[in-house]
């Protein structure tokens, strides 16, 4: 479960919530064809595609960044005890995620910033935990960083995004308690978050989706969030997932990220790639390939 990288003076650890065969490939990718499996079978099976289940293998995890000055959590998975009947695998979860965070050398009190790359169900859950019947911030000393556009889009009162009951519940139990505790930090556009950490807009998957670049001692890593859900999209950057809000924008963002990683030899740390979870993007004609690293 553990994955650790050193980027200059900065350590990065992966904290897993769950991993396994989650999605029928035809459900996640409209462009998936039977020959897609045959073409990429050498690296897809068994780590990224289960032939037994005929499903894509994926992970839900957070990244913990420890710089000389700050501890930053990137995305907060699905969380425990959340009422999610529309998404059965995430309904009333009971995962030892906090124990795994501790095993990575971090307690909730030590986290300085929580970056929510966007506000989907599997990225904001551990923002809060259930205590005496109330949802309270899991990280009592942290500032929770949201894209202003993203927060306004999902706020039921603002009416910018979906306004169904499931979406409202996610906002109300995992975002609103942060705002009420005055631990929120809304940013607009590009934002420097401490030394060597740059938050950048990466719209398409959601309107206010962001990524994070980390630079230290001439080394770079890029936390790509949900610009890609599965490594098959590195080889096929035109493929959107079924969860992308704006298809054309998502494709443009994905290609920009892949081009940057290839040009700068950046370590790409996605939010959902199964084992190996990270790697380097390589050019392959007009498209790309992925050299897995861990």
Determine the Cα–Cα distance for residues 54 and 30; give it in Å rounded to an integer: 16
**CB-based contact 67:195 (threshold 8 Å):** yes
Q: Would you state the structure tokens that stand for residue 64, as one six-digit string?
A: 């913990």
216-254 b/e (C-beta count within 10 Å ≥ 16 → b): beebbbbbbbbbbbbbbbbbbbebbbeebbbeebbbebb
CB atoms closer than 10 angstroms to residue 177: 20
Whether the predicted pLDDT of 86 surpasses 80: yes
Instruction: State phi, psi for 6 to the nearest 5 degrees.
Output: -115, 120
> 117: domain CATH number?
3.60.15.10
Mean pLDDT of 193-218: 96
For 230-275, what is each residue's pLDDT tens digit?
Answer: 999 999 999 999 999 999 999 999 999 999 999 999 999 999 999 9
So what's the pLDDT on residue 294?
75
Domain count, the chain: 1
- At CB < 8 A and 24+ separation, what contacts does 188-195 make? 188/147, 188/148, 188/149, 191/145, 193/72, 193/113, 193/115, 193/145, 194/67, 194/69, 194/70, 194/72, 194/113, 195/67, 195/68, 195/69
Using alpha carbons, select from 22, 14, 21, 17 the residue that is nearest to residue 243. Answer: 22
Q: Share the mean pLDDT of the chain.
A: 95
Element (H, E) at 171: helix 165-174
213 lies in which domain range?
A: 3-292
Q: Would you state the structure tokens that stand for residue 249, as one six-digit string?
A: 């924008």
Whether the predicted pLDDT of 1 surpasses 70: no
So what's the pLDDT on residue 200?
98
Question: Tokens 């501890």 sit at which residue?
Answer: 71
Alpha helices (H) in 33-129, listed in sequence order = 34-44, 97-103, 121-124
Whether the predicted pLDDT of 6 surpasses 70: yes
Mean pLDDT of 2-18: 94
Determine the Cα–Cα distance for residues 200 and 189; give it in Å rounded to an integer: 7
For 137-173, what is each residue's pLDDT tens digit?
Answer: 999 999 999 999 999 999 988 766 566 777 889 999 9
Sequence-distant (≥ 6) Cβ neighbours of residue 267 within 8 angstroms: 5, 7, 219, 220, 221, 222, 278, 279, 280, 293
Task: Give 101's DSSP letter.
Answer: H
Alpha-carbon torsion (28, 37, 78, 76), positive or negative = negative
So what's the pLDDT on residue 5?
96
So what's the pLDDT on residue 166?
76
Burial of 272 (0-12, 13-18, 19+ CB in 10 A): buried
pLDDT over 70, % of the chain: 97
């Amino acid at each position: 479960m553990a994955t650790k990288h050193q980027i200059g003076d900065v350590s990065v650890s992966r904290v897993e919530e769950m991993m396994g065969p989650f999605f029928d490939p035809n459900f996640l990718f409209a462009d998936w064809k039977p020959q897609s499996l045959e073409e990429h079978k050498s690296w897809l099976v068994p780590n990224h595609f289960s032939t037994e289940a005929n499903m894509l293998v994926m992970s839900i995890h957070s990244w913990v960044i420890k710089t000389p000055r700050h501890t930053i959590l990137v995305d907060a998975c699905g969380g425990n005890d959340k009422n999610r009947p529309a998404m059965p695998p995430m309904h009333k979860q009971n995962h030892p995620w906090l124990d795994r965070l501790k095993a990575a050398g971090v307690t909730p009190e030590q986290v300085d910033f929580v970056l929510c790359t966007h506000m989907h169900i599997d990225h904001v859950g551990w923002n809060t935990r259930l205590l005496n019947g109330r949802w309270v911030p899991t990280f009592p000393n942290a500032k929770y960083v949201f894209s202003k556009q993203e927060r306004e889009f999902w706020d039921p009162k603002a009416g910018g995004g979906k306004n169904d009951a499931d979406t409202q519940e996610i906002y109300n139990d995992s975002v609103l308690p942060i705002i009420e505790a005055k631990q929120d930090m809304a940013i607009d556009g590009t934002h420097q978050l401490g030394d060597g950490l740059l938050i950048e807009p990466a719209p398409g998957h959601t309107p206010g989706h962001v990524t994070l670049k980390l630079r230290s001692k001439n080394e770079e890593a890029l936390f790509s969030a949900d610009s890609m859900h599965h490594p098959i999209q590195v080889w096929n950057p035109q493929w959107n997932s079924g969860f992308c809000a704006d298809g054309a924008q998502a494709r443009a963002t994905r290609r920009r990220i892949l081009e940057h990683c290839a040009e700068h030899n950046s370590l790409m740390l996605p939010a959902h790639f199964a084992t190996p979870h990270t790697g380097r993007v390589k050019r392959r004609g007009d498209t790309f390939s992925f050299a897995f690293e861990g």
